[in-house]
Amino acid sequence: MSLLDEFHIFSQIFCLSLVIFMVVRVIYLLYKIFTSQCGLSSTKPLRTIICIGSGGHTTEMLRLVKSMNMTKYNPRMYVLADNDESSEVKIHEAEKDHINYRLSRIPRSRNVQQPYLSSIWSTLYAIGHAIPILLIYRPNVIFCNGPGTCIPICLVAFFMRCAFLMDCRIVFIESICRVRSLSLTGRILEFFADLIIVQWPELRDACYRAKYFGRLT
C-alpha cells in the first residue's frame, strides 16, 4: 500500500470519526436541553444578545428589556434586520440611560408573505452574516421572541456550542398574541432552545417544555 493510499484511508477514518463525534455531541446537548434547567444562575455579568423582530415584537421585547437586571445582562448587543429602521429608534430610546450596548444587523431571513421555499436561501444568507457576529461577540445568553430574524442567530449559536466554540443559552419568549399555538419560530426553537417561555396557560399543552410565568409584557 502506497503512502498516498494510507493517507486517503486515514483521512476517511478521521472524517468519519469527526462526524460520529459531532452527532454524539448534538444528541448529548439536546438531552441536556430537554432534561435540564436553563443554567442562567451565574452571578457574573452575562454577555447578552437580544434579537429584535419588528413592530409589535420589538415593543414586547423592549418591555422585557426594561424589566431586566441591566447589571447582570451586560454588555448587550441588539441584533435586528438590516431593513428595520424603526426598531433602531426604539432601542436607543429604551437604552437612553445606559451606554454599554451596541447594535448589529443581519439580512432578514424571511420577509412578510415571502414563500417558505425561497426563505431557505435568504435564511442561509442571513446565517452567513450571523457567524462572524457570534464568533466575535461570544454571547452567554440570547433572548428572542421571533419572528424569523432570530433563527439564524440561534442556529449558529447552537452549532457553535456543539463545536465547543462558545457556551451560550437560548431563551425564547413566545409573543403575547399567541394564545393556543406556537408561532413558526417557536415550533422551530422548541427543539433546541434552552428555555421556552409562554404567556398563556393554554400554550403549555402546545409545548410540553414551555414554562408559564404569567404575562410578561
At residue 77, the 3 state secondary structure works out as: strand
**CA atoms in the 13 A half-sphere facing the CB of 62:** 22
* Residues 2-44: tens digit of each pLDDT: 766 777 788 888 899 999 999 999 999 999 898 876 666 677 8
pTM of the shown model: 0.89
* Residues 180-203: tens digit of each pLDDT: 889 889 999 999 999 999 999 888
198 Cβ neighbours under 8 A, 6+ residues apart: 174, 178, 182, 204, 206, 207, 210, 211, 212
The helix/strand count (H/E) of the chain reads as: 6, 7
* Residues 83-115: tens digit of each pLDDT: 888 899 999 999 998 888 999 999 887 666 666
- Cβ atoms of 108 and 80 within 8 Å: the answer is no
* Structural domains of the chain ordered from first start: 37-212 (3.40.50.2000)
